[in-house]
Chain A
Amino acid sequence: MSHLTVDRPGLSTTVQDLGRRGLQRYGVPVSGALDPLALRLANALVGNPAGTAALEILALGPTLTVEAESVRVALVGSAVGLMIDGHPVPSGQSVTVLRGARISVGGFTDAASAILAIEGGFELASCMGSLSTYGRGGFGGFAGRALKPGDAVALAKAAATTAPERKAEPIDYGSGPIRVVLGPQDDWFEPAAIERFFAEPYIVTAEADRMGMRLEGARLAHARGFNIVSDGIAPGHIQVPGTGQPIVLLADRQTVGGYPKIGAVIGADLPRLGRMRPGDMLRFARIEVAEAEAVRRAQETTFAALVQRIGPVIVVPTTEQLLAVNLIDGVVAA
């Protein structure tokens, strides 16, 4: 069986796809990649369908040994890039690595998460229709948890295809304030609190994980208390508990909750938000649903064009590289 062996797991490396749908009515969270655009682009680079499960890496990446004839991989989401047996390979392009070589991703601070996609994906059992890991529930992905040293993650393919290596331009995540649609409990807040929410900056605190991100900034005063009768939670919902400090709910969010939700971050801005790290500052801006829908469609059009522009990696080898081509451990093309 072909696999990747985990030498060092990194801070928290999990298998994620685009999430587990249809089971929220049974309390099963959606999960999936914090940055779905990175997942989709990384999969496109290695020739996979967009929703193929890949490794999501938080802050510090793993070191993996290739136990297969060869494997094609691509890192997207951080500019940190890959090291293949010590040779750097830039982010945003595929590379094929031979048996015995080590793939590693170092620490990075330009995003909270990055995606390492593998051509063909993993040979893992689907759990309730998805390969996404839900760590709190202990299910999905690889053994329901983040990778550990010594894990052997089975690969679906024994060898990479002979397709040429490909590269992509960076993803445009957008800029400016994070846009929020008010509701459903915006009427549980003082009008002045809504104004402050859109006027004041917020800082991402250290309490940020795949479930949610606690923010610190202007305190939001409730008009009617902070215990609602629990109702459904949507992606990017911003709940405000008694502290008056907002919590944005991310991929591993619970399905229902009992704190008032002032609004929800729009889908087009969720990948950008999911990339933010403790200490990052953000501002919110109000947007209406119809406009948010138009922004999302425009983002999809832009992203589709980015995928269309994926092209071959053109390598002009130096004489030294030509002479050493069979000596460089594992690197076929970089």
Chain B
Amino acid sequence: MTLPRFLAAGDAALVVEYGEVIDPVLIAAVQRLDRRLAAAHVPGVIETVPSFRSLMVHYDPLATSQAQVIAAIQGLEADDPTAASEPGRAWRLPVCYEAGFAPDLADVAAATGLAPEAVTAAHAGNGFTVAVVGFLPGCPFLAALPDNFNLPRRTAPRTRVPAGSVAVAQKLSVIYPTESPGGWHLIGNCPVPLFDARWDRPALLAPADRIRFQPIDAEEHGRILAAARAGDYDPRRDCVDGAAT
């Protein structure tokens, strides 16, 4: 692993950049730095935001300085790429891939050269890591699908993507927590609530969590959605390693 670059982001934040591309090796390096920095409790650091290839460190410029934060990061214990390779929680989230929820499945099939069922099977069989939570509160960006899923976004973005939509682009998958505009290819729907301001941690999923999808039929999807809307569905049940709080 090459040493990261320290880049300014104004006078209250700093970027620690490991590269410029989406690469599982870089994502893991960012997440290791995130954990090492959190464990060090550096004075003046307010919060960190891990993303695909860099860690943003937000700090209070009246309590510390960019130079001090950089020195603290450089003074952390040496990175050990073999340490704690699976630090997040493991989840198995239900997804309905049936036609009503997958308006772009045919397009994705054509673009990947796979049969529609093979697209669904590849997605459901893939092990994902949460690389970033952003764009919308609680919205997970999941890495990474095989190379043939390196698809551009739709040329005409939708103005309304339904809540729960499971979409793919750029070898990534995403789940829209709430209805929003969006330009990714929709191939399914996950009825599990992903964001709730009343939860202790408002997002169900956090960077470094591991996700697998469990195909469900429309009937099961409807049952979960109805329970979730009635407040009778505890999404922590989908945490397979029992670590959710």
| Residues of A in contact with B (beta carbons under 8 Å apart) | 21-29, 127-128, 137, 139-140, 181-184, 228-237, 254-256, 261, 263-268, 289-290, 292-293, 296-297, 300
Q: Is there contact, CB below 8 Å, between B139 and A235? A: no
Is residue B15 contacting chain A, with contact meaning CB distance below 8 A? Answer: yes
Of A25, A256, A261, the residue contacting B47 (CB under 8 A) is A25
Given A26-B203, A183-B7, A289-B11, the answer on whether A230 and B52 have CB atoms closer than 8 Å is yes
Is residue B193 contacting chain A, with contact meaning CB distance below 8 A? Answer: no
Of A25, A26, A232, the residue contacting B9 (CB under 8 A) is A232
Instruction: Report B-chain residues with C-beta under 8 Å of the C-beta of A234.
Output: 9-10, 12-13, 56, 58
Given A229-B52, A255-B134, A256-B134, the answer on whether A235 and B20 have CB atoms closer than 8 Å is no
Q: Complex: how many Å from CA A139 to CA B199?
A: 13
| Residues of B in contact with A (beta carbons under 8 Å apart) | 7-13, 15, 17, 20-22, 46-56, 58, 61-62, 65-67, 132-139, 141, 195, 197, 201-203, 206-207
Instruction: Report A-chain residues with C-beta under 8 Å of the C-beta of B203.
Output: 26-28
Q: Is there contact, CB below 8 Å, between B132 and A230? A: yes
A-B contact pairs, 24 of them (CB 8 A): A21-B47, A24-B49, A24-B58, A25-B48, A26-B137, A26-B202, A128-B202, A139-B197, A183-B8, A183-B9, A184-B17, A229-B21, A230-B132, A230-B134, A230-B141, A231-B51, A232-B13, A234-B13, A234-B56, A254-B135, A256-B134, A289-B11, A293-B61, A293-B65
B157 to chain A, nearest CB (A): 13
Chain A residue with minimal CB distance to B21?
A229
Instruction: Report A-chain residues with C-beta under 8 Å of the C-beta of B53.
Output: 229, 231
Given A267-B12, A296-B61, the answer on whether A232 and B54 have CB atoms closer than 8 Å is yes
Of B12, B22, B55, B133, the residue contacting A229 (CB under 8 A) is B22
Q: Complex: how many Å from CA A228 to CA B8?
A: 17
Of A27, A140, A267, the residue contacting B61 (CB under 8 A) is A267
Q: Is there contact, CB below 8 Å, between A21 and B46? A: yes
Of A137, A265, A290, the residue contacting B10 (CB under 8 A) is A265
Q: Is there contact, CB below 8 Å, between B135 and A256? A: yes
Instruction: Report B-chain residues with C-beta under 8 Å of the C-beta of A181.
Output: 8-11
Chain B residue with minimal CB distance to A22?
B47
Instruction: Report A-chain residues with C-beta under 8 Å of the C-beta of B197.
Output: 127-128, 139-140
Instruction: Report A-chain residues with C-beta under 8 Å of the C-beta of B10.
Output: 181, 234-237, 263-267, 292
Of B12, B21, B22, the most chain A CB neighbours within 10 A belong to B12
A185 to chain B, nearest CB (A): 8
